[in-house]
Amino acid sequence: MMDDRFAVWAPAAATVHLVLGDAAGQTEHEMRRGDDAWWRPAVGLSASASATVDYGFRVDGRGPFADPRSRRQPDGVHGLSQLFDTDQHVWADGAWTGRQLAGSMIYEMHVGTFTPEGTLDAAIARLPHLTSIGVDFVEVLPVNAFNGTHNWGYDGVLWYAVHEGYGGPAAYQRFVDACHLVNIGVIQDVVYNHLGPSGNYLPQYGPYLSDAAGNTWGDSLNLDGHNSEPVRRYIIDNALMWLGDYHVDGLRIDAVHALRDDRAIHLLEELAVEVAVLSAAEGRPLTLIAESDLNDPRLITPREANGYGLDAQWSDDFHHAVHVALTRETTGYYADFEPLSALAKVLTQGFMHDGTFSSFRDRNHGRRIDTEHMPTSRLVVASQNHDQIGNRAIGDRLTAQLDAGQLAIAAALTLLGPYTPMLFMGEEWGASTPWQFFTSHPEPELGEATAKGRIAEFARMGWDPAVVPDPQDPATFERSKLDWAEIDQPQHARMLTFYEDLAALRRSNADVTDPRFASTTVEYDETDAWLRLRRGQTQIVVNFASHAQSLPAAPGSVLLAFSTDGHPVVRSNADSIVLAPHAVAVLG
């Protein structure tokens, strides 16, 4: 019988040796190449070579290197791998039947900054908070193994292993189990478009990387070149591992526009097919969400209608339109979103740029969504997320620019609007802590290059280099951790209560979860800066202006209201209301 515990794909290698290590030292074992270019031990090994044994591979005399499919890296990405048997965990989620995306609310979190401890086990203790605000899915920023102690997660190099600093794979199983026990699904953020700058030994084994130029973040994967079939399998098997072995409910796939694939069947479509098969076998929904800069609805068009068949994609246009309406920032890619008509279009058509001219790109951009047939739930929207906060020079949240009423407007448009809402951790209480770009590269030269590159990037955009935090400074990481004590402070507690009320209304009001574009209409006044969003019989009336004003509104009771001064709505007659400055009212 073949010993696949220590199998590795290395098509160009002349020799491969298995290196086993324990307290007594290291031993090397000959491996034999199969016709499929997979190498396996030439002689069967004892079954005792298991959880306590470290292992790696020496390829043509180089190494030893970690297993590309390593499930655990106890000594970091430059160390040996360790076998991890996912079947040893006794799952307690047998009653869990999954959760569909439509009608749900997502909560995006980064394990390292969600709690002071920065671990998966510590995050479990905060799950009651998530249930109290109506979270249906928690979306976890990448947890795969990277070099260093902390970063955002997008510098991963061993995609099958869970970062040891978070607790490793066993803690990840405990976290998913705990989420399911409180009826929260888990969406894992995965990165298949590039690899991190330190600890990537995949090229030592085979043609994992594309011959074409890399992308903005690093080397691209070989998805369509010579010997690319096993590379695609490497990615798809990783996705199936999260969804199957770790009981995850969905994947958020990072920057799919950077996946270089010229095959007739794109990797994303192939992935969607295999996930659909696994979903049928598991008997629970499995969701694929793309992050895309393309504004291309083919990603979320069903395969039978010649699309890729993904379940949803992020819509940055929503963020941009809400951000500009509230902050009045109009630099860079915000320029095209200056008028309220941009927000109105996004709320009713999905994309602002749907074949229209983008001044930021200096070309036409996007494609129109078929609003007659596409459900609105396939667009995931947020007024804040890790990218839109963290990629600002100082990582400042909306809290740093807006008053409480404006924050409430953003919350109402996100949670009661037509799309699938996503919150960024701490948003629900108006967290004052920033979310800054942080790294911990152990290599001094890499850390210095990262810091200088970050400063130079924002200097070109007009920011004072002196205010840009050093990503390598541990204080930058510490500043980005949530301060949970804020919840007990009056101004934060009031915001949290409003989020809880919005979530409760969302769960009880079928108007705001209606997935039809036709159920949404918008009226607005560009000059007076107000907007009314109708979701069926429910109205969300917004005053963006800094003065009180009388706004048209059909008769109905006030379901929710919020303003900076705490007194937002005064009924004046049957067809209008007086709304305080920077206030929102929900009528039904």
Judgement on whether residues 52 and 134 belong to the same structural domain of the protein? no
- For residue 430, the domain's CATH number is 3.20.20.80
The pLDDT of residue 214? 74
For residue 555, pLDDT over 80 is answered with: no
For residue 420, pLDDT over 90 is answered with: yes
Judgement on whether residues 14 and 120 belong to the same structural domain of the protein? no
The catalytic residues are: 254, 291
Nearest of 236, 249, 381 to residue 315 by alpha carbon = 381
Residue after which a domain boundary falls, among 14, 33, 65: 65
Q: Are strands 312-314 and 379-381 parallel, antiparallel or unpaired?
A: parallel
Judgement on whether residues 253 and 292 belong to the same structural domain of the protein? yes
Residue after which a domain boundary falls, among 449, 471, 503: 503
Mean pLDDT of 170-175: 98
pLDDT digits (tens, 9 = 90+) for 25-47: 889 999 999 999 999 999 877 66
Cis peptide before 64 (omega within 30 of 0): yes
What would you measure as the largest C-alpha separation in the chain, in angstroms? 87
pLDDT digits (tens, 9 = 90+) for 47-66: 655 556 899 999 999 999 99
Judgement on whether residues 394 and 541 belong to the same structural domain of the protein? no
Q: What is the 3-state secondary structure (H, E, C) of 153-168?
A: CCCCCEEEEECHHHCH
Nearest of 248, 249, 271 to residue 259 by alpha carbon = 271
Number of domains in the chain: 3
Judgement on whether residues 179 and 293 belong to the same structural domain of the protein? yes
The pLDDT of residue 4? 85
For residue 538, pLDDT over 70 is answered with: yes
Judgement on whether residues 134 and 12 belong to the same structural domain of the protein? no
Lowest-pLDDT range of 23-37, 227-241, 515-529, 566-580? 566-580
3-state helix, strand, coil in the chain (%, to 5): 35, 20, 45
Is pTM beyond 0.85? Reply is yes
Question: Whole-number mean pLDDT of the chain?
Answer: 94
Judgement on whether residues 246 and 346 belong to the same structural domain of the protein? yes
Q: What SS3 state is found at 227?
A: coil
Mean pLDDT of 179-190: 98
Domain assignment present for residue 421? The answer is yes
The pLDDT of residue 85? 93
The pLDDT of residue 226? 95
Mean pLDDT of 179-205: 97
Domain assignment present for residue 576? The answer is yes
The pLDDT of residue 178? 98
Judgement on whether residues 486 and 521 belong to the same structural domain of the protein? no
Residue after which a domain boundary falls, among 35, 65, 95: 65
Q: Which two tokens stand for residue 20?
A: 């086993």
Judgement on whether residues 493 and 520 belong to the same structural domain of the protein? no
Nearest of 338, 339, 377, 370 to residue 354 by alpha carbon = 370
For residue 1, pLDDT over 50 is answered with: no
Q: What SS3 state is found at 187?
A: strand
User: What residues contact 524, with CB distance under 8 A and at least 6 apart?
Assistant: 340, 341, 343, 344, 530, 531, 532
- Please state the residue numbers annotated as binding site for substrate: 252-257, 316-320, 386-391
Q: Which two tokens stand for residue 327?
A: 């902050």
Judgement on whether residues 327 and 402 belong to the same structural domain of the protein? yes
Mean pLDDT of 485-504: 98
Domain assignment present for residue 95? The answer is no
Q: How confident is the model at residue 23 (pLDDT cuts 50, 70, 90)?
A: low
Beta bridge mates, 543: 530, 583
Judgement on whether residues 554 and 418 belong to the same structural domain of the protein? no
Q: How confident is the model at residue 428 (pLDDT cuts 50, 70, 90)?
A: very high
Domain assignment present for residue 112? The answer is yes
pLDDT digits (tens, 9 = 90+) for 346-375: 999 999 999 999 999 999 999 999 999 999
For residue 410, the enclosing domain spans 106-197+228-503
Judgement on whether residues 33 and 152 belong to the same structural domain of the protein? no
Higher local confidence (pLDDT), 514 or 1: 514
